Amino acid sequence: MARDSTSRVPSITSSCALEVRHIEFSNIDRIKAAGLRYAPLHTRTKEGLGLHLQVSLQYRLIPQNLSALYSEFNQNYEQVFVSSVRDVLIKAASEYEEMVELLAANPPK
């Protein structure tokens, strides 16, 4: 009998892989948290202007990859996702120029 690739994975199972998971960087209390919630992200634009981001993401685990995910990150995979997402969003947002300058250079048609 063939073993399911997730049989070695203690808390990450095929059935939970089908669930949509949520990660939020938000402080809007009137909206119920759907999953993990963290403080909003803060960075600066190229000009040094403060930029505050409130972001929500959804993801689903791929059942065929659960064994590899567990092997590499154990049960801490969500913290790795959160850290990676936070770093990528802050880096990308800090590359933006002030919106006024962008609109002046490229006025809407």
pLDDT tens track for 50-98: 888 888 889 888 888 888 888 898 888 888 989 999 999 888 888 876 6
Answer yes or no: is 2 within a domain. Answer: no
- Distance between CA atoms of 25 and 5, rounded to whole angstroms? 33
- Distance between CA atoms of 97 and 47, rounded to whole angstroms? 7
- Distance between CA atoms of 99 and 104, rounded to whole angstroms? 9
Answer yes or no: is 24 within a domain. Answer: yes
- Distance between CA atoms of 67 and 4, rounded to whole angstroms? 10
Average pLDDT of span 5-26: 67
Answer yes or no: is 30 within a domain. Answer: yes
How do 41-44 and 50-53 pair as beta strands?
A: antiparallel
Q: How many domains does the chain have?
A: 1
- Check residue 109 and give its pLDDT: 65
- Distance between CA atoms of 36 and 105, rounded to whole angstroms? 39
- Distance between CA atoms of 40 and 28, rounded to whole angstroms? 9
- Check residue 1 and give its pLDDT: 40
pTM for this model (two decimals): 0.64
Answer yes or no: is 49 within a domain. Answer: yes
Q: Which domain holds residue 37?
A: 14-105
Answer yes or no: is 66 within a domain. Answer: yes
Answer yes or no: is 65 within a domain. Answer: yes
Answer yes or no: is 77 within a domain. Answer: yes
Answer yes or no: is 18 within a domain. Answer: yes
What are the phi and psi torsion angles at 27 (to 5°)? Answer: -130, 25
Confidence label for 45 from pLDDT (cuts 50, 70 and 90)? confident
- Check residue 49 and give its pLDDT: 82
Average pLDDT taken over every residue of the chain: 78
